[in-house]
Structure 1
Amino acid sequence: MASNSITRFRSLTKPTRQTLIQSHRHFSSILNPDSTTPLTSKQKSRAALSLLKSEKNPERIIDICRAASLTPDTHLDRVAFSLAISKLTELNYYEGIRNFVDELFKTRPDLKTERFVSNAIVYFGQAGLLNDAHQLFDKMPQLGVGRNVRSLNALLFSCVAAKEYDEVKRVYLDFPGKYGVEMNVDSYNTVIKAFCESGSVSSCYSVTAEMVRKKCRPNATTFGLMIAGFYKEGKFDDVGRVLEMMKKHDVHIGIGTYNIRIQSLCKLKRTVEAKALLDGMQSRGMKPNAVTYSHLIHGFCREGKLNEAKELFKKTINGGFKPESECYFTLAHYLCKSGDFEAALDVCKKSMEKDWFPNFSTMKLLVEGLANGSKVDEAKEVIETMKNKFPNKVDVWNEVEEKLPK
């Protein structure tokens, strides 16, 4: 791998090599300003991701990406790229996104790959720059990269990310034939996702019929998307029809499918029905998982049924399940909003033991609620924990502490 990189580097023109060397020297200090010890690729990626989370200067966001020499080959780097694009989009720095991607193709020959081009097409869609996504797809041969189903899927997903659903339909109908690319199950699932998001879920029946004609077998994701879409549109009879289709196509109706149904009912504030679905599932010998309980806890919280939410949370923990951080944060937030600060404190402590800290607004609610309930010492203990964890927020927490009852 190293020898290949050296060969690619030597193949560049002298001015380009000098530019890369100067850029490396200029940007390397961004990621580890307090040390002269070189970072490994993984350390660079982690440092970049950490810096990107709080950076608001668009040029510095790009400099951080340059310093880390991100690639599409690791999950960490793809997350960092995606975060950078999201932040630049929020800052309306569209020309900067275009220039940065163009720069990468000019100065990073290692990125002239089908994988990175496909990722870049998605990034343009994520930024709402769909014309740029199309232009990049069109000029792939000029970059020495062939078009295939991965790049077609990237373009379809780019359209979904940009919420240009008519364009999804156009690409789906015209591009496979135009470019001689055969769609796969991921292609069809992206089209189905678009129909579901745009309120046209009934059109998915024709897509699945085409899949069958093309000998492309629908999978659990195909039907899961349709189930969620029909619930969203309130077409409950169609949910049953999709479940029958799953049986017909020999697709297992497992915990993932049940979790989609439970989450969909909870979003409709029909959490009691979702709980009944869980009970029926368990009576048939199927075991729930942490995701199942998290959906229900969130649903009960949104409906103000906090006793049920607390009971399920307790059952989740005692059952040996490991809820994700969002489950703790949601329950803590709603308990604070309802005035049950003792229960909220217990949830927050369990969360912080895992190094998961609810956001500032939730913790401020908790601290003020404890103090107003004559639990000033507990409130100050929480403040001290937050100061230690987030040194950059010490002044903000000092202000909160000063306003507490004495």
Structure 2
Amino acid sequence: MTVIDKLAIANNFDGIETLMQRIKLERKCRLSDEFFRNVIKIYGHLGGRINSAIETLFDMPNYKCWPSVKTFNFVLNLLVSTKHFDVVHEVYMGASKLGVEIDACSLNIIIKGLCGCGQMEAAFSVLDEFPKQKCRPNVRTFSTMIHGFCERGCIDEAFNLLERMEREGVEPDTIVFNILILGLRKRGRVEEGIELFDRMMLKGCDPNSGTYQEVLYCLLDAKRFVDAKDFMKKMTDKGVIPSYESYKLVINGFCSENLVENVDWGLRQMVKHGFVPKMGIWKRVLQCVFLDSRIANCYHIWYEEIF
């Protein structure tokens, strides 16, 4: 493997192919499944030689080495990640020829590929294949399909899949809820996104920083600026810092509703967490507090200190 690694570093992929053919003809050493997986990785990730990666997989029996399902799945995932969707099914169908027993990971990769190219009906067909292959779909299976539906704006279909997921005893995780909340927000259904967050908490599913940020954007989109302020306090209490854009939106919202004290809070929090307000924010703030000379003077001092 050392020789092959050196050839890879030198970008001499033709040299690797020549060496592999020589090894096959001489039959003087027995190569492991891990060895072939590394060669396939070199072809796929370093050399961009996807065809060589596939050929190496199917050539393994000629070296008296049969691929493990891990190596087989590596090739499937390589094809999906490089968007070679046209050959994924062909490789998948070659599993029996290679003596590979398909597992849940294999089917998940196929579903990922189908969702990636918008073939959602075909993805459902693969979902129905799980019991036939003596496998059970897992949270990754459903999250991939739910993401596929949300990406295409098919939110109701995504929630139907969530119901099926729960019926089949698969508990949705934080990633699933994040995908759904983002999907709802993109379709303007922000109140439903906020309600879903409450449902998530009731189920005992711990939110992550991405969850909090999406729910905050839902509150801001709904123009619930005071609620957004309270939510931002909860976020910071948990060590999650709202984004610069969040502070910008909430400050603009407070300005539009003439909530001067809240404007002051938002600006101070923004600076406290390391964000520097840009000129547009300062102009908006000064417009809001222009009639209050005391507060306006306070912001003038702030501006001078920061800049």
Q: TM-score, structure 1 length as denominator?
A: 0.56
- Give the Cα separation in 2 of the matches to 1:346 and 1:160: 49
**Which amino acid is 2:248 matched to?**
K
Q: Tell me the residue number matched to 1:174.
A: 56
2:232 pairs with 1:381: no
2:290 pairs with 1:397: no
Q: How big is the shift at 1:163?
A: 9.8
2:106 pairs with 1:246: no
- Give the Cα separation in 1 of the matches to 2:160 and 2:115: 16
- Give the Cα separation in 2 of the matches to 1:333 and 1:272: 21
Q: How does 1:207-226 map to 2 (within 5 A)?
A: 207-226=91-110
Q: Tell me the residue number matched to 1:53.
A: none
2:147 pairs with 1:267: no
- Give the Cα separation in 1 of the matches to 2:153 and 2:81: 19
**Which structure 2 segments of 5+ residues have no match?**
20-29, 290-307
Q: Tell me the residue number matched to 1:236.
A: 120
Match of 1:331 among 215, 218, 222: 215
Instruction: Provide the aligned C-alpha RMSD in A.
Output: 3.8
Distance 1:283 1:382, change over 3 A: same
Q: Tell me the residue number matched to 1:355.
A: 239
**Which amino acid is 1:170 matched to?**
S
2:138 pairs with 1:276: no
Confirm or deny: 8 A CA contact 2:178 2:214 kept in the other structure: no
Summarize deviations over 1:206-226 as a string: whole Å, max 9, x none. Answer: 323333333332222211121
- Give the Cα separation in 2 of the matches to 1:238 and 1:303: 25
Q: How big is the shift at 1:132?
A: 7.7
Match of 2:198 among 314, 319, 329: 314
Q: Tell me the residue number matched to 1:32.
A: none
2:15 pairs with 1:131: no
- Give the Cα separation in 2 of the matches to 1:158 and 1:275: 40
**Which amino acid is 1:131 matched to?**
N
2:72 pairs with 1:188: yes
Secondary structure at the counterpart of residue 162 of structure 2 = helix
Confirm or deny: 8 A CA contact 1:195 1:204 kept in the other structure: yes
Q: Tell me the residue number matched to 1:372.
A: 256
Secondary structure at the counterpart of residue 245 of structure 1 = coil
Q: Tell me the residue number matched to 2:293.
A: none
- Give the Cα separation in 1 of the matches to 2:203 and 2:136: 25
Distance 1:157 1:325, change over 3 A: farther
**Which amino acid is 1:173 matched to?**
E
Work out the percentage of aligned pairs sharing the same amino acid: 18
**Which amino acid is 1:230 matched to?**
L
Confirm or deny: 8 A CA contact 2:244 2:270 kept in the other structure: no
Summarize deviations over 1:84-139 as a string: whole Å, max 9, x none. Answer: xxxxxxxxxxxxxxxxxxxxxxxxxxxxx98xx98x99xx9xxxx99389989999
Distance 1:358 1:284, change over 3 A: same
Higher relative contact order (CA 8 A, sep 6+): 2
Confirm or deny: 8 A CA contact 1:298 1:330 kept in the other structure: yes
- Give the Cα separation in 2 of the matches to 1:308 and 1:370: 23
Count of equivalent residues: 273
- Give the Cα separation in 2 of the matches to 1:163 and 1:276: 42
Confirm or deny: 8 A CA contact 2:191 2:222 kept in the other structure: no
- Give the Cα separation in 2 of the matches to 1:269 and 1:163: 36
Q: TM-score, structure 2 length as denominator?
A: 0.72
Distance 1:257 1:184, change over 3 A: same
Distance 1:158 1:362, change over 3 A: farther
Confirm or deny: 8 A CA contact 1:266 1:295 kept in the other structure: yes
Q: Which moved more, 1:222-231 or 1:279-288?
A: 279-288
Confirm or deny: 8 A CA contact 1:300 1:306 kept in the other structure: yes
Q: Tell me the residue number matched to 2:27.
A: none
Q: How big is the shift at 1:239?
A: 1.9
**Which structure 1 segments of 5+ residues have no match?**
1-112, 140-145
Distance 1:133 1:342, change over 3 A: farther
- Give the Cα separation in 2 of the matches to 1:378 and 1:235: 48
Secondary structure at the counterpart of residue 128 of structure 2 = helix
- Indicate the structure (1 or 2) with the bigger Cα radius of gyration: 2
**Which amino acid is 2:118 matched to?**
G
- Give the Cα separation in 2 of the matches to 1:338 and 1:292: 22
Confirm or deny: 8 A CA contact 2:66 2:98 kept in the other structure: no
Confirm or deny: 8 A CA contact 1:192 1:201 kept in the other structure: no
Confirm or deny: 8 A CA contact 1:201 1:226 kept in the other structure: no
**Which amino acid is 1:367 matched to?**
I
Confirm or deny: 8 A CA contact 1:332 1:345 kept in the other structure: no
- Give the Cα separation in 2 of the matches to 1:400 and 1:366: 14
